[in-house]
């Protein structure tokens, strides 16, 4: 049996340092929806090395799937077992209002467009960054394309309200990070956001007509442990 296929108990028994690393990683995976490579490089590399053992642990004892990418690790919980805890009382990444769902999908579209234009890949050390105003302009145009019969409603100010409404959730669940502005960032006062690796896990395909016509849409109905 190779080291990568060893059980966590065997890895922990190798040394006190290994035991501490395993314990820290298990806690980190449960403390937030995503564990990023730059959160703690040493622990992330340890997780990547023994990901089969960690995945086996979560699969055996919880029935969860562990996903480990180059910059990001997460747990996927396929079911909720305590039925007494209603959906409204669960801490989950979940948009239910149509406009907010559309805004999130537009962020994914915008992310994919910027990846191509800026030639950014998952192997790059730095994550993609953008100005809030740039995304806002993109979202405004796309809202009016998706809802051509409501162009008078989706003014720049209305789109700004919708986009502003989803930002706290995107920051909380670590899809985006708000960056401080430096002295050389211009005088516009526009907010700079960094796209965190979790966005790579979602597919920003073109909006389907059903999304545009549905009164309420939930496009993020995948439980993420820690949510």
**What are the pLDDT tens digits along the chain (227 aa)?**
444 445 888 898 888 899 999 999 999 999 999 999 999 999 999 999 999 999 999 999 999 999 999 999 999 999 889 889 887 787 778 888 899 999 999 999 999 999 999 898 888 989 999 999 999 999 999 999 999 999 999 999 999 999 999 999 999 999 999 998 765 555 456 899 999 999 998 876 644 444 545 554 433 344 444 44
Contacts of 187 (CB under 8 A, 6+ apart): none
Domain containing residue 10: 3-76
Structure-token match 């992310």, residue found: 111
Question: Is there a domain that residue 8 lies in?
Answer: yes
As a whole number of angstroms, the distance between CA 92 and CA 224 comes to 7
As a whole number of angstroms, the distance between CA 31 and CA 43 comes to 15
Question: Is there a domain that residue 189 lies in?
Answer: yes
> What confidence score (pLDDT) does residue 222 get?
43
35: left (phi over 0), alpha (psi -120 to 50) or beta: beta
**pTM listed for this prediction:** 0.79
Question: Is there a domain that residue 104 lies in?
Answer: yes
Q: Please tell me whether residues 112 and 172 are part of one structural domain.
A: yes
Question: Is there a domain that residue 220 lies in?
Answer: no
Q: Please tell me whether residues 142 and 164 are part of one structural domain.
A: yes
Strands (E), 84-215: 129-131, 176-179, 192-195
Q: Please tell me whether residues 71 and 98 are part of one structural domain.
A: no
Distances (CA, A) of 172 to 92, 108, 169, 204, 211: 11, 17, 5, 20, 25
- Residue where a domain stops, chosen among 76, 97, 113: 76
> What confidence score (pLDDT) does residue 86 get?
84
> What confidence score (pLDDT) does residue 53 get?
94
Question: Is there a domain that residue 219 lies in?
Answer: no
> What confidence score (pLDDT) does residue 52 get?
94
Q: Please tell me whether residues 97 and 196 are part of one structural domain.
A: yes
- Beta partners for residue 34, in sequence order: 74
Q: Please tell me whether residues 201 and 162 are part of one structural domain.
A: yes
> What confidence score (pLDDT) does residue 92 get?
78
Question: Is there a domain that residue 84 lies in?
Answer: no
> What confidence score (pLDDT) does residue 220 get?
39
Question: Is there a domain that residue 221 lies in?
Answer: no
Residues in the chain: 227
Q: Please tell me whether residues 46 and 111 are part of one structural domain.
A: no
Structure-token match 């809202």, residue found: 143
Distances (CA, A) of 70 to 37, 38, 125, 160, 214: 8, 11, 11, 33, 36
């Amino acid at each position: 049996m190779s080291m990568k296929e060893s059980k966590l108990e065997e890895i922990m028994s190798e040394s006190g340092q290994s035991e501490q690393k395993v314990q820290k990683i298990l806690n980190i995976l449960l403390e937030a929806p995503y564990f990023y490579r730059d959160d703690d490089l040493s622990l992330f590399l340890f997780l990547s090395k023994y990901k089969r053992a960690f995945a086996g642990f979560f699969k055996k004892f919880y029935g969860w799937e562990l996903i480990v990418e180059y910059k990001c690790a997460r747990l996927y919980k396929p079911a909720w077992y305590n039925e007494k805890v209603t959906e409204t009382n669960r801490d989950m990444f979940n948009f239910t209002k149509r406009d907010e769902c559309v805004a999130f999908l537009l962020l994914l579209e915008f992310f994919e467009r910027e990846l191509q234009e800026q030639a950014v890949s998952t192997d790059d050390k730095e994550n993609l960054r953008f100005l809030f105003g740039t995304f806002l302009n993109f979202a405004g145009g796309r809202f009016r394309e998706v809802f051509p019969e409501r162009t008078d409603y989706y003014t720049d100010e209305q789109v700004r309200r919708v986009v502003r409404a989803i930002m706290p959730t995107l920051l909380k669940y670590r899809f985006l990070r708000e960056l401080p502005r430096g002295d050389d960032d211009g005088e516009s006062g526009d907010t700079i956001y960094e796209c965190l690796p979790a966005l790579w896990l979602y597919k920003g395909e073109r909006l389907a007509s059903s999304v545009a016509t549905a009164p309420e849409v939930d496009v993020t109905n995948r439980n993420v442990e820690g949510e």
